[in-house]
Amino acid sequence: MLKAPVTASDHIQGDQAAPVTLLEYGDYECPHCGHAYPIIKRIQKHFGKQLKFVFRNFPLSEMHPNAEGAAEAAEFAGTKGRFWEMHDGIFENQQELGVPLLLTLAETLGLSAPDLRNALMDREYAPRVKSDFLGGVRSGVNGTPTFFINGQRHDGLPDFEDLVAAIEARMSSEPD
């Protein structure tokens, strides 16, 4: 069960009133998360206004040296209202992940690359990332990506059919 409830400080995409919340604990350098990225896009399209999507950071930094910086860069962009653009940009260019990519993405989004560089050096957004991570650990996140559907951990594979079936099952078990 999700121990850290979704709040206004989360990054939420989609209709706020949507009956289903799909939440991902992800790592920007994790290949499985990269694989799940286009699947989530398809899921969002499939369910439309019925679903909102939340992304939280769960960088496995010892294994993925660029994951923490990427998470902090997305949080930096988030403070300028560009979280999802950065999030998408990172996953769409996962093969080139590193500080140069993050700075380029910032520039493309009209954000200040020097500001991002300073924020990364000062670890300005590290506490936010850490708080996501610890909330995930407490909720039983055991690897990446881990999904929660309306607060219930989804243990199946992160493939399209599987997620659709799990979301539909949740919708029919919770009539509004």
Partner 1 sequence: MGQILEAGTVAPDFSLHVTPDQKLALSELRGRPVILAFYPADWSPVCGDQMALYNEVLSEFQKFGAELLGISVDGVWCHEAFTKDRHLHFPLLADYEPKGAVAKKYGAYRDEDGFCERALFMIDRKGKIFWSYCSPVAVNPGADGILQAMEEMPK
Instruction: Kindly identify the residues of this chain, within the stretch 2-61, that bind partner 1 according to CB under 8 A.
Output: 3, 27, 30-33, 60-61
Cβ contact 22:43 at 8 Å: yes
Nearest-10 Cα torsion for 71, 77, 56, 171: -150
Binding segment (CB under 8 A) for partner 1, from list 7-15, 88-96, 116-124, 138-146: 138-146
Nearer to partner 1, 25 or 47 (CB): 25
Give the total of residues touching partner 1 (CB under 8 A). 21
Nearer to partner 1, 14 or 135 (CB): 135
Judged by CB under 8 A, does residue 66 bind partner 1? no
Nearer to partner 1, 98 or 143 (CB): 143
Q: Which two tokens stand for residue 64?
A: 């993925």
Nearer to partner 1, 89 or 145 (CB): 145
Judged by CB under 8 A, does residue 128 bind partner 1? no
Nearer to partner 1, 32 or 128 (CB): 32
State which of residues 38, 81, 127, 140 lies at the interface with partner 1 (CB under 8 A).
140
Q: What is the DSSP string of 52-97?
A: EEEEEE---TTT-TTHHHHHHHHHHHHHTT-HHHHHHHHHHTGGG-
Pairing of strands 152-154, 51-57: unpaired
Judged by CB under 8 A, does residue 171 bind partner 1? no
Cβ contact 148:2 at 8 Å: yes
- Smallest separation, CB 155 to partner 1 (Å): 8
How far apart, in whole angstroms, are the C-alpha atoms of residue 163 and residue 38?
A: 13
Nearer to partner 1, 62 or 176 (CB): 62
Helix axes 99-108, 83-92, angle to 10 degrees: 130
CA 37 to chain CA mean position, Å: 9
Residues that bind partner 1 (CB under 8 A): 3, 27, 30-33, 60-63, 133-134, 137-144, 155
